[in-house]
Amino acid sequence: LLWSTLVSWGCWLTPVIPTLWEAKAGGSPEPRSS
Query: 5 vs 1, 8, 11, 17, CA distance in Å?
Result: 6, 5, 10, 18
pLDDT of residue 7: 84
Full DSSP string of 1-34: -HHHHHHHHHHHHTTHHHHHHHHHHHH-SSPPP-
pTM of the model: 0.31
The pLDDT tens digits of the residues spanning 1-34 come to 788 888 888 777 777 777 777 777 776 555 556 5
- Contact assessment for residue 32 and residue 25, using Cβ atoms and an 8 Å cutoff: yes
